[in-house]
Amino acid sequence: MHPVVKRILFYGILLAVWQIAVTALDVSVSLLPAPTDVFQSLYTGFLDLTLVYDLVASFKRLVIGLLIALAIGLLVGVFLAKSKTADETLGSLVIALQSVPSIVWLPLAIMWFGLNEMAVTFIVVLGATLVMTINVRTGMKNVPPLYIKAAQTMNYKGLSLFINVMFPAAVPYIVTGTRLAWAFAWRALMAAELLSTGPGLGYKLKFASDFGDMSLVIAIMLMIMVIGVIVDLLFFQRIEKNVMKKWGLDT
């Protein structure tokens, strides 16, 4: 059976069990709405375009923050790989910061930038930069010494060695880092938007929660999950798999 068919059957059964359980137990919609209530909220939100505006606002923040994070992560990762002193000092700080959830920085971001777009973007950048940095640094460190020695025999050195040998060899790690950075940025964005003041899925989730609209709360949660899965499966996983095949790391 094709994996797509398996997933459709699995989620179909899951929704059916959810609907039957809520109906049979007569659970209050304010505690756990049925799938029909959730889909009605989704339909209404897309019909009046409110969820569309929130989705566009969230993706705008995500793209800006992710692009900044990828650029910073790439530069810092290369710097750590090329400098032993930096790796032993700044590198240890990067590892330490990676263990701190990005949402923990939100109070500081609000104090530094205010309750605005800058604070949300800062959290997104922070959430994605560190994982990108670590993957780029690892990729550069794991370039086979044989490649470097072979290139040096052909008079490649310095910048030409980096551009023609080290960077291409590290591309699989960079692609994986980009995929992970997207996932971390998406989660950080949703967390940061919970305390934002503008449109966005996270803000809409908090708004719905404050007014006890659990159908909309779960509808937005489903949107966040579905978008995460779709972007990862249809975009990042395909790119990563193609790169791995091209580099001879996968069959």
| Percent of all residues in the chain with a pLDDT value above 90, rounded to a whole number | 46
Q: Is residue 24 part of a domain?
A: no
Phi, psi (deg, nearest 5) at residue 194:
-60, -25
- pLDDT score for 212: 87
Residues 6+ apart with CB under 8 A from 152: 161
Do 206 and 194 touch, CB atoms closer than 8 A?
yes
Q: Is residue 31 part of a domain?
A: no
Q: Is residue 47 part of a domain?
A: yes
211-247 pLDDT per residue, tens: 889 999 999 999 999 998 888 888 888 888 888 888 7
Phi, psi (deg, nearest 5) at residue 248:
70, 25
Query: For residue 67, what are the domain limits?
Result: 40-246
Q: Which of these, 231, 196, 207, 174, lies nearest to 122 by C-alpha position? A: 196
Q: Is residue 61 part of a domain?
A: yes
Bigger pLDDT: 115 vs 191: 191
Q: Could you tell me where the DSSP H helices lie in 99-213? A: 106-113, 117-141, 145-153, 158-161, 167-193, 201-210
Q: Read off the DSSP letter of residue 27.
A: -
Over range 110-129, report the average pLDDT. Answer: 89
Q: Is residue 35 part of a domain?
A: no
Q: What is the mean pLDDT of the chain?
A: 88
- pLDDT score for 67: 96
Structurally, the chain folds into a number of domains equal to 1
Q: Is residue 182 part of a domain?
A: yes
* Prediction pTM value: 0.88
Q: Is residue 9 part of a domain?
A: no
- pLDDT score for 41: 92
- Which residue type occupies 169? A
Neighbours of 155 (CB within 10 A): 8
Provide the CATH number for the domain around residue 94: 1.10.3720.10
**Cα–Cα dist 75/114, whole Å:** 28
Q: Is residue 17 part of a domain?
A: no
Bigger pLDDT: 30 vs 215: 215
Bigger pLDDT: 161 vs 68: 68
Over range 192-220, report the average pLDDT. Answer: 88
